[in-house]
Chain A
Amino acid sequence: MSTSENKKEIKVFQILVDNNSGVLSRIAGLFSRRGYNIESITAGVTADPNITRITIMTSGDDDIMEQIEKQVSKLVDVRDIHELKPEESVYRELAMIKVRADASQRENVIALANIFRGNIIDVSNESLMIEITGNSGKVDAFIRLISGYEILELARTGVAGLGRGTKNIIYINDMRLGAGISDGPDRD
């Protein structure tokens, strides 16, 4: 396969997995040992407590993207993997940014946060903590802007996403709680 002429791109995959022990490590392990990039990874339980949604933002060429889909599908715990295409999906990321700001700077920082619909979630004599939610571009833009002040600490969650509308929902018909699992909550 001619990989050289293929361009690197960024894609977001949504992976639905059975909530078995070690499942996150199996997915992360697969990415690391096969040399796939992880730009960001988030995981959390879905409306069905037996199923976890993992959102992975990754980069690579077409061949790598195809292998990612195939290799991830192969894992026994994986129910589904599909790309969240930008035009058909919504991505969100949350960032918490702690900025050094004394009483004289506070007003300006709050004003900036307001423009980006950020919330102030902690205040001290010398600092402010801002919560900002949006797609990665918006978060990046805000961080660039606020870095005129001294950023003391920064936490980003990574991208979570969902497809728009009702088209690509793949497991909703099987959402009877605990479908197929009748022998207790511990399923290793």
Chain B
Amino acid sequence: MNGADAMVKSLAAEGVEYVFGYPGVAICPFYDSILQTDIHTVLIRQEQCAAHAASGYARISGKVGVAVVTSGPGATNLITGIATAFADSIPLVCITGQVDSQMMGSDVFQEADISGACESFVKYSYIVRNAADIPRIVKEAFYIANTGRRGPVLIDLPIDVQQQTVRHFSYPESVNLRTYKPTVAGHAVQIKKVITQLERAKRPIICVGGGVHLSNAADEVIRFLEKNQIPAVSTMMGLSAIPTEHPLFYGMVGNNGKPYGNRAMNNADMVIMVGARVADRSISQPDLIMENKILVHIDVDPAEIGKNAGPTIPLVGDIRHVFEEFNKIDFKADYTDWIDQLDGYKTDARDAKRRRMFQREEDILAHQKDLTGINPVQFIRQLSYAMKEDAVYVADVGQNQMWSCSNYIARGGRFMTSGGMGTMGYALPAAMGAKVAAPHRQVVAVCGDGGFQMTMQELATITQYDIPVKLVIIKNTVLGLVRQYQHYNYKDRYSVIDLGTKPDLSLIAQAYGIGYLKLDNSLKTDSTLAAFLAEDKSMILEVDVDRDELC
């Protein structure tokens, strides 16, 4: 047995079923050994997408996603994917081939110091020097990636180590990491303090973040809301943890969120942040929003607590565990007045929105506004209802993401997007990974024509491996969000945002043998969506949207 054999055996022992990757000489021993196992391999078309696909897989399966690429350019192409996963705390193990360990440091062909390059956005990294260490390192890597605050772990594996003889293989049953011991159980005293404050509070609100998905705690959080009738809002990363039309849910907060969600946060007297970083896009002024409030911050990562806002009650622990504890406690509180107030905000906002929508149509009819094409706001809503209830919705980055996150209606499905890093082109490869993880669920990726062209080569992968993905391309022929920024901040002085009208998406679809539909008449939205989603096979839906649409 050699090091590569030990590596694939270790992956098999971890229960790895899928590896997304791209071989090259420096990782050839690995790809030779993997033939002996039952692990499926998916040849992606550019390494960045290996990490994105593994990320989509991890988000849906709850398991660690695995990407395996070669040294040098293979490894450096992976970097954007690793950074994207790190920003959203997604558990990955990324294995990179490396040149002969004796040659490392001498700038030989396809050598790159990948562990050095990724240092600031991996949770941990290894350079393997002895093949005998492989089982321990793999065990540790999976443990580190998928415990505490999740994140990517890099294993750099020189080719000579892959070829080294391993005399004895035994996969460790447990890890022995003296320095890494994440806190899982929330502190009982802090848990009690939160409940005591809730009893006193008049206007509490719970804000759920991506951590709720990562610790698989949505059901426990909803149980807590319903049992105690506490209203909730969500960050973009937390979307779909609570169904959009849940009576206690008041939308997404942040600068692209719902006005009533932000009003709810501002007027609350107690805010419970759950697995949310209090990052700039959700809470732009932590100082102000936390004035005159009790702030509870629940997170598995102690370093997030107090980083952006100093909490009154910090609570370190796994969210699922903490809410299981919360749910064991009965307490008396009545927030009916507060909920009435919030419902009022919601009605105000809906009326305002209806007025705006009505105004938009009137303006178009009166030729005040020259908007042609589909109204993206309406479209996303109709798409949400047309999709299966448990469908996975992968939003890309840009204007389309803003339309998606503020108009997608979660009905038991899952919303995911590149929230922290905002990586364009994430949707298609991540949707591919999600579909691999849940073959029986419908997976819909929604992107713009800019993001689509960043990773469109993966159409070949989904076709080759028969991974059916429903791909909506909102085509406005510009980099919409940058254009919008230039509209507001540079007074319509547009620079380098024009994508042109090419490629012809129908021909792209034809080239890859994928079905294609086009939507340019809003009266046909429902029938087109029905045809688009009808069968479980890949399909591209081009949605023409006017470049002047703002989000």
Give the interface of A toward B (CB within 8 A). Answer: 1-2, 17-18, 21-22, 25-26, 29-30, 33, 63, 66-67, 70-71, 73-74, 76-79, 174, 179-180, 183-184, 186-188
Stretch in contact with the other chain, from B9-17, B32-40, B176-184, B269-277:
B176-184
Whether, in the assembled complex, B132 has its beta carbon less than 8 Å from a beta carbon of chain A, the answer is: yes
A63 touches B180 (CB 8 A): no
Apart from the given pairs A22-B115, A66-B306, A78-B179, 15 other A-B contacts in the complex at a CB distance below 8 Å: A1-B309, A17-B179, A22-B127, A25-B119, A63-B306, A70-B302, A70-B306, A73-B303, A74-B302, A76-B123, A79-B178, A183-B132, A183-B133, A184-B132, A184-B133
A43 vs B178: C-alpha distance when bound (angstroms): 20
Return the contact of B130 from the options A21, A25, A184 (Cβ within 8 A). Answer: A184
A179: chain B residues at CB < 8 Å are 178
Of all chain B residues, the one with the shortest Cβ separation from A174 is B178
Minimum distance in angstroms from B66 CB to a CB of chain A:
19
Whether, in the assembled complex, B307 has its beta carbon less than 8 Å from a beta carbon of chain A, the answer is: yes
Whether, in the assembled complex, B287 has its beta carbon less than 8 Å from a beta carbon of chain A, the answer is: yes
Whether, in the assembled complex, B124 has its beta carbon less than 8 Å from a beta carbon of chain A, the answer is: yes
Q: Which of B156-191 contact A (CB under 8 A)?
A: 176-180
B127 touches A180 (CB 8 A): no
B306 touches A1 (CB 8 A): yes
Minimum distance in angstroms from A5 CB to a CB of chain B:
12
A74: chain B residues at CB < 8 Å are 301-303
Minimum distance in angstroms from B41 CB to a CB of chain A:
26
Of all chain A residues, the one with the shortest Cβ separation from B177 is A76
Return the contact of A33 from the options B120, B132, B144, B307 (Cβ within 8 A). Answer: B120
A1 touches B287 (CB 8 A): yes
Of all chain B residues, the one with the shortest Cβ separation from A69 is B303
Give the interface of B toward A (CB within 8 A). Answer: 115-116, 119-120, 123-130, 132-133, 136, 144, 176-180, 286-287, 301-303, 306-310
| A contact patch SS | mixed
B129 touches A186 (CB 8 A): yes
B133: chain A residues at CB < 8 Å are 183-184, 186-188
Of all chain A residues, the one with the shortest Cβ separation from B144 is A76
A71 vs B303: C-alpha distance when bound (angstroms): 6
A186 vs B180: C-alpha distance when bound (angstroms): 19
Of all chain A residues, the one with the shortest Cβ separation from B120 is A33
A66: chain B residues at CB < 8 Å are 306
B310 touches A1 (CB 8 A): yes
Q: Which of A1, A2, A73 has the most CB of B within 10 A?
A: A1
How many A-B residue contacts, CB cutoff 8 Å? 68
Minimum distance in angstroms from A77 CB to a CB of chain B:
6
Of all chain A residues, the one with the shortest Cβ separation from B136 is A183
Minimum distance in angstroms from A177 CB to a CB of chain B:
13
B287 touches A76 (CB 8 A): no
B126: chain A residues at CB < 8 Å are 188
B179 touches A77 (CB 8 A): yes
Return the contact of A18 from the options B125, B130, B179, B287 (Cβ within 8 A). Answer: B179
B309: chain A residues at CB < 8 Å are 1
Closest 8 pairs between A and B when the two form their complex, measured CB to CB: A70-B303, A76-B124, A1-B310, A180-B176, A79-B179, A76-B180, A188-B127, A186-B129
Of all chain A residues, the one with the shortest Cβ separation from B125 is A22
A188 vs B134: C-alpha distance when bound (angstroms): 11
B119: chain A residues at CB < 8 Å are 22, 25-26, 29
B307: chain A residues at CB < 8 Å are 67, 70
A188 touches B310 (CB 8 A): no
A77: chain B residues at CB < 8 Å are 179
A25 touches B287 (CB 8 A): no
Of all chain B residues, the one with the shortest Cβ separation from A186 is B129
Can you list 6 A-B contacts with CB-CB less than 8 angstroms, sorted by A residue number? A22-B127, A26-B119, A63-B306, A74-B301, A76-B179, A187-B133
Minimum distance in angstroms from A174 CB to a CB of chain B:
7
A104 vs B302: C-alpha distance when bound (angstroms): 62
Q: Which of A22, A30, A76, A183 has the most CB of B within 10 A?
A: A76
Of all chain B residues, the one with the shortest Cβ separation from A77 is B179
B128: chain A residues at CB < 8 Å are 188
B287 touches A2 (CB 8 A): yes
Of all chain B residues, the one with the shortest Cβ separation from A4 is B287
Of all chain B residues, the one with the shortest Cβ separation from A3 is B287
Minimum distance in angstroms from B541 CB to a CB of chain A:
41
A76: chain B residues at CB < 8 Å are 123-124, 144, 177, 179-180
Of all chain B residues, the one with the shortest Cβ separation from A71 is B303
Return the contact of A188 from the options B129, B179, B180, B287 (Cβ within 8 A). Answer: B129
Q: Which of B126, B128, B176, B303 has the most CB of A within 10 A?
A: B303
A1 touches B132 (CB 8 A): no
B306 touches A21 (CB 8 A): no
Minimum distance in angstroms from A73 CB to a CB of chain B:
7
A174 vs B123: C-alpha distance when bound (angstroms): 25
A73 vs B181: C-alpha distance when bound (angstroms): 10
A186 vs B132: C-alpha distance when bound (angstroms): 11
